[in-house]
Amino acid sequence: ATVLAIETSCDETAVAIVKNRQVLSSIISSQIAVHQPYGGVVPEVASRRHLEIVNEAIAQALEQADLDWTAIDGIAATCAPGLVGALMVGLTAAKTLSMVHQKPFLGIHHLEGHIYASYLSEPTLNPPFLCLLVSGGHTSLIYVKQGGQYDVLGQTRDDAAGEAFDKVARLLNLSYPGGPIIDRLAQQGNPQAFPLPEGKISLPGGGYHPYDSSFSGLKTAVWRLVQQLQETSPDLPVNDLAASFQATVAKALTKRAIACALDYGLDTIAVGGGVAANSGLRDRLQTAANSHNLRVLFPPLKFCTDNAAMIACVAADRLEQGYTSPLSLGVQSRMPVTEVMNLYNRMG
Ligand code: ATP
Ligand code: MG
Ligand code: FE
């Protein structure tokens, strides 16, 4: 199926056309510059900006794919989770287009999109596999049983991995979003310069949770280190701090993902979300996977962070299976990925 999808859950206005797992066009208009002065995303500003440019992005996606509406089998939009006002813009646009052009409508879960991003570079990938989902709001190990069926085996107890990158960047006086900047600085730093604590979740019977993670202690440790270093010199060793922090996160995530894949007998780890772009994580996880004979897949960099191609990829899959969403579907700021099948009805 050929699907046009709209993604407006946060600060990217994105529209893409995907034919099954093949990307025919992908438009991503980032609002980073709009929100940068505030040091984070301002929800009201995000909604207004989506509204201003969504129609143009839709036109561009059709033009880039060199298609008109007759070639489109379904129209989809992200409906949860995310900023309510922002989601509303994309979802309303998709519903309207679905009525005007008489095409099936599908509401898609944003995290299922991040899980599906690996299909865009590896179309032959099939469940079961393990997804390490590391984004701005989530850090989860997800057992992908089949399309639409997920078990969450591990998650963060506090900050998400991407959130930790953004918060540590702020401590280091770097701009928003911090992940890509820390990644760049870390490449010039020594990852062993500062030993930092990997957050662990204690279990009542002793020992540690094998798959859950915690990043708020690590963030506090970086903060203390920064205070301490500033007492002796105003010039922070930013590269070494970035490298040490990034290595600690990469190590924690790698350890959990490998343990989980081995415990559940899964031979493939597909990584998704913005932090899947991180070079330190990519290197460490690839090396560990090789030594355990596991396959690790990373989406192309532009499909790690928010995009509509991953949303269209999910929608194409659902449509092929005979599912659509009712036009009465609304947006939801939160929704577990285990409940995605509630978004659909069976056609016919
Ligand atoms: P969610 O998907 O959980 O709703 P989100 O959509 O805001 O959250 P994504 O777009 O998947 O998150 O990812 C954005 C996050 O990824 C930001 O926190 C950003 O700092 C981080 N990120 C992007 N590139 C890198 C990188 N190279 N290294 C580390 N982090 C990165
Ligand atoms: Mg974003
Ligand atoms: Fe996302």
Tokens representing 305 are: 């962070």
Task: Encode pLDDT of 171-180 as tens digits.
Answer: 999 998 999 9
Asked if residue 348 has pLDDT above 80, the reply is no
pLDDT of residue 31: 92
For the CA of 160, the nearest ligand: 1
For the CA of 137, the nearest ligand: 1
Q: State whether the beta carbon of 282 lies less than 6 angstroms from ligand 1.
A: no
Task: Encode pLDDT of 112-136 as tens digits.
Answer: 999 999 999 999 999 999 999 999 9
133 CA distance to ligand 3 centroid (A)? 10
Tokens representing 278 are: 């991180």
Asked if the interface predicted TM-score (ipTM) of this complex is over 0.95, the answer is yes
Atom of ligand 1 nearest to the CA of 160: 3
How confident is residue 39, by pLDDT bands cut at 50, 70 and 90?
confident
Residues in the chain: 348
284 CA distance to ligand 2 centroid (A)? 24
Asked if residue 215 has pLDDT above 90, the reply is yes
Asked if residue 184 has pLDDT above 80, the reply is yes
DSSP assigned state of 199:
B
Task: Encode pLDDT of 283-330 as tens digits.
Answer: 999 999 999 999 999 999 999 999 999 999 999 999 999 999 999 999
Q: Tell me how many degrees the CA angle 313-317-318 measures, rounded to the nearest 5.
A: 120
3-state helix, strand, coil in the chain (%, to 5): 45, 20, 30
d(CA 248, CA 40): 24
Residue range 183-212: mean pLDDT, rounded = 97
pLDDT of residue 40: 86
d(CA 129, CA 59): 36
Residue range 201-212: mean pLDDT, rounded = 96
H helical segments located in 122-215: 161-171, 178-186
pLDDT of residue 347: 81
What global pTM score does this model have?
0.98
d(CA 316, CA 22): 10
Asked if residue 231 has pLDDT above 80, the reply is yes
DSSP assigned state of 6:
E
Mean pLDDT (the chain) is 97
Buried b or exposed e, range 146-157, using 16+ CB within 10 angstroms: ebbebebbbbbe
**Which residues are placed with Cβ below 5 angstroms of ligand 3, an ion?**
135, 306
Task: Encode pLDDT of 54-96 as tens digits.
Answer: 999 999 999 999 999 999 999 999 999 999 999 999 999 999 9
Contact 41, 76 (CB under 8 A): no
Look at the block and give the residue holding tokens 């922070």.
236
Tokens representing 282 are: 């990519």
Within its chain, how far is the Cα of 170 from the centroid? 21
d(CA 332, CA 326): 15
d(CA 187, CA 71): 45
Q: How far apart are the first and last CA of the chain?
A: 17
pLDDT of residue 271: 98
Within its chain, how far is the Cα of 118 from the centroid? 11
207 CA distance to ligand 3 centroid (A)? 32
Beta strands in the chain (DSSP E): 2-7, 12-19, 22-30, 74-80, 105-109, 129-134, 139-146, 149-155, 268-272, 295-297, 323-324, 345-346
Q: State whether the beta carbon of 299 lies less than 6 angstroms from ligand 1.
A: no
Q: State whether the beta carbon of 136 lies less than 6 angstroms from ligand 1.
A: yes
- Three-state secondary structure call for residue 238: helix
